[in-house]
């Protein structure tokens, strides 16, 4: 949870590379669950897309020398991590809820990312 919270703070500061790296690390540390969450949905709907392109570019010395990372890309990766956390633990926190509201207000997400959208999802409770 700390990595995802830190990713959110870096995003708000405009430090997109840090935000993406921390969110991806947090997402990778989370256990799998049976609930469908954003990354699974993206892979199912667009199997030809590489949704880890920027993550891998930041981690490995391959690919182009330069890339333009948008705020939306960082938001999407943080949203993936948050949704995987909520799916795994059926819990959220104030920072995740505030980020969700911010992402909607900024036009990055069409609706809150924490609300359940899938029939198997349960409404998360707020963790302390």
Domain ranges of the chain: 2-126
User: What is the pLDDT, as a whole number, of residue 119?
Assistant: 32
User: What is the pLDDT, as a whole number, of residue 37?
Assistant: 74
User: What is the pLDDT, as a whole number, of residue 34?
Assistant: 79
User: In the chain, which stretches have pLDDT less than 70?
Assistant: 39, 44, 51, 60, 63-64, 115-128
User: What is the pLDDT, as a whole number, of residue 85?
Assistant: 93
Q: How far is CA 50 from the centre of its chain?
A: 15
User: What is the pLDDT, as a whole number, of residue 51?
Assistant: 67
Q: Is 91 strand, coil or helix? A: strand
93, 104 contact by CB (below 8 A) = no
């Amino acid at each position: 949870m700390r990595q995802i919270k830190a990713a959110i703070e870096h995003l708000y500061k405009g430090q997109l590379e840090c935000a993406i790296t921390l969110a991806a690390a947090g997402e990778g540390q989370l256990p799998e669950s049976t609930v469908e969450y954003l990354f699974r949905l993206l892979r199912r709907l667009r199997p030809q897309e590489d949704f880890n392109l920027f993550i891998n570019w930041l981690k490995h010395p391959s690919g182009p020398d330069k890339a333009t990372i948008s705020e939306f890309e960082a938001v999407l990766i943080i949203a993936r991590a948050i949704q995987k956390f909520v799916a795994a633990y059926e819990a959220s926190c104030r920072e995740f809820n505030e980020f969700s509201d911010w992402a909607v207000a900024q036009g990055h997400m069409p609706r809150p990312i924490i609300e359940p959208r899938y029939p198997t999802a349960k409404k998360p409770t707020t963790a302390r």
